Structures are given as structure tokens and as C-alpha cells.
Amino acid sequence: MLFACDDVPDTSSAVAPRQCTSLKRPPVPIPAGTHLLGDTRFYPEEGPVIEVTVTAFDIDAHEVSNREFAEFVAATQYVTRAERGLPEAVYDDLPAGMRRPGSAVFQPPTVKQATSLMSWWTFVEGASWKAPKGPGSSIEGMDHYPVVHIAFEDAQAYAAWRGRRLPTETEWEVAARGGLIGAAYAWGESPPDQTDPAPANTWQGLFPYVNQASDGYSGTAPVGCYSPNAYGLFDMTGNVWEWTADTYVPRRTTVDSNAAPDIGTIKGGSYLCADNFCQRYRPAARQSQERLFSASHIGFRTVSVSNH
């Protein structure tokens, strides 16, 4: 099936959105082998560089899309965490309004506004995977965009329905590197703003004020619009952060018996990563995320033991 990457054109950009290639693609086999993971050139939590050995597995060629998640919901009547709200027993320290059904939505400030990290994000009551900006918004015409506002348990439920699971952080990073040894980026050593055409959906311009959208998109882009890595995987960096199965620890070699089980590890960066702020559009990048929370820039993909 063919579809255009401009299913829902981004009218804020003067650049014509690129064309996507055919979907739906089968999972991509990743062979067993030994790999170098981590990086010491960017953020401290990415180090040290370590050698790991993985057994063969396969991984979704792209992030789970709205259409794929909708099929799951139609088949199971599943209700996401954002649609249910946060449990009072766990978050009794939060105001009741913050526990209501809803999710975090990025809202860029104007140049004249004084800003802080927290001011870029707003809890929008009623925001969910099918209403990504809150009540009145929808995913109509966005079948091929990555599903967002997904909490960890939602991603797990979808994966189990498909007879699959979430990738470990190691599996995710091995897949994202595409066989490149020690490269800073999924495509090599050149930063995304020095690569033409754009290799990933990232923020072009001064974050959080100006997104030049020189790749045709100022928000998320449909899956599969950017060049795949050497394994044939799309959007492993940029577009949306992706859940992994692992509990977050400050350094990847740490064995921490006190690690909080409600804090997970997300990988890959998103369309909000920019050269002047979040340089996490790289395979080694990693970030902590509360597993019960969701946001407009977090999605996922799934893996399985490979039969190849």
C-alpha cells in the first residue's frame, strides 16, 4: 500500500513535505552478534562505552502507528492510562486536577515569553492518543503518524496483543546503530543540521521558539518518511521517543537494587530535539520517564525473538 507523507500537510512550513515509501513493512531481523554501545562525547548517562552480545531478534520497521493502535483498541476495547487518569493511591500528592484523564502536550512559547522547561509542557485534560491536542482534536487523516500519549503499560498491552514485547535498551540501541561501530548518529558522524536531506525528524532552528521546519514538519511526521538506517529501520532517532522494557539507572553499567520500578528508559529523542537544546537524536541517548505518565512526543515499537 502506498501513501504520501503529506496526508496531513504542515501548513506552518513553506517546505513541501517529503513522500513516504510503501507500508506496511514486516519486522526487520537483527542478527545475533557483539556490539559496542554507549558514548562518552555527549551526556554522562550515556557512558561508558561497553561491549554487549545479543541473540537474534526482530524489531518493527517503524514506530507503532495510529492505525495499528486503533486496530488493537477495536479488538480489545483497551482504554489507555491517559484516558483513565492517574491512580490516587499512587499519586495522592498530586492535585486532583492532575490525576484526571489527560496527558502532557508540548506548547511552544512565543519569543517574547520568559520560559522554563516546565512552561513548555501543559497537562491537557482530555488529551489522549485519539485526541492528541486535547478535546476537539483528533487523528482523522493521521493513520500513518506514530501513536503518542502512550504510557508504558499501554505499550506493553499492545505488544502482548501482538504476541511480542518491548525491546530492551540494549536491543533498541543495537537496532538503532544499524551495524555502524561507534558512530555518533544512526547515519554516521554528521549532525542532522549538516546532512541533506534531513536524516531524521528533529527541530530545525532555535528551540523552543523557532522551528524552521526545513524538513517539511514542525511536529511529528508519518512513519517511514526519512531514510532508513543500514538495517532498514525507520525513525530510530527523532520523531518520537520510544519506550524500552528497562527500568532506568543513571549509568548503563550500574546494577542498582534501589532503581525505581516506576521509572522507565526511553530512547531515540523526538521532533523536539535540537542542536541548541536536546542533542538526543542519537542511538546512545537515553532518558528517564515515569511509566504512568504520557506525552505528545512518546511512542514505541515492539520486538520478538527472531525466526531468521
The tens digit of pLDDT for each residue in 278-298 reads 889 999 999 999 999 999 999
Residue 118: count of CB within 10 angstroms of its CB: 7
Predicted pLDDT at 276: 81
Cα(142)–Cα(35) distance, integer angstroms: 36
Predicted pLDDT at 8: 36
Predicted pLDDT at 221: 93
Cα(46)–Cα(147) distance, integer angstroms: 27
Predicted pLDDT at 6: 37
- Strands 33-37 and 50-54, by their bridges, are antiparallel
How do residues 14-41 score in pLDDT, each as one tens digit? 354 566 655 678 899 999 999 999 999 9
Predicted pLDDT at 53: 94
Of 6, 222, 220, 62, the C-alpha closest to 132 is 220
Which stretches of the chain score pLDDT less than 70?
1-23, 111-119, 253-259, 306-308
Residue 165: count of CB within 10 angstroms of its CB: 17
Residue 44: count of CB within 10 angstroms of its CB: 9
